[in-house]
Chain A
Amino acid sequence: NAGVTQTPKFQVLKTGQSMTLQCAQDMNHNSMYWYRQDPGMGLRLIYYSASEGTTDKGEVPNGYNVSRLNKREFSLRLESAAPSQTSVYFCASRKGEVRTGELFFGEGSRLTVL
């Protein structure tokens, strides 16, 4: 049972380069999320998709774009990477609604921007 799968697990970019983080879930969840985690900051929501065909901004969306390709897949794109985007990125999917549903996380993608 794969759950939530993210690729790549590690990536080093130079400032100005672009890249896409891929995420797929096999639990038939409607909602999917992209978080970033920085030391002492907890998890901050970048973008989310409450259902296939919809995407919305979270707390820190600047510098990112997302695509909900289908019910399974939700990708995060950095068009022009900046050192401030060095972070660990987690994709998650939710079972149920926000107030009661559990988040299932991928293993994370560690991104370094030089």
Chain B
Amino acid sequence: QKEVEQNSGPLSVPEGAIASLNCTYSDRGSQSFFWYRQYSGKSPELIMFIYSNGDKEDGRFTAQLNKASQYVSLLIRDSQPSDSATYLCAAPNNAGNMLTFGGGTRLMVKP
């Protein structure tokens, strides 16, 4: 089982809606999680980092971490066509010496 799992999508939402992206992880000891956004043909860029249970908000983005259920979510409010991209979830591995990425979820926001 991959350490970090994501639904590959595509997830299609209308403009202005809330997009909900989910990520599950297998290591109960994982302490921190990253969300990277990757536009087609471009390199990933960090958009959110979360390390404690609950929600973390940054503008239109909210990351939610539920350690008991071993999932982390990214909510995008008021989705815009410019949010169309692949979103990669990542977590440090057991040894804490590298970051393990999920396969990514492709989001499409339709005008």
Contacts and interface: CB of A to CB of B under 8 A. Distances in A.
Interface of A: 33, 35, 40-45, 48, 50, 56, 58-59, 90, 98-100, 102-103, 105-108
A98 B43 contact: no
A58 B48 CA distance: 24
Contact of A105 (B45, B100, B104): B45
Interface of B: 4, 6, 8, 31-32, 34, 36, 42-46, 49, 51, 88, 90, 92, 96-104
A103 B99 contact: yes
A56 to B, nearest CB: 7
B25 to A, nearest CB: 13
A43 B88 contact: yes
B8 A40 contact: yes
Contact of A98 (B36, B88, B97): B97
Given A59-B98, A99-B96, A103-B34, 14 more contacts: A33-B98, A40-B104, A42-B4, A42-B104, A43-B44, A90-B44, A98-B92, A99-B32, A99-B51, A99-B92, A100-B49, A102-B46, A102-B49, A108-B42
B74 to A, nearest CB: 15
B38 to A, nearest CB: 9
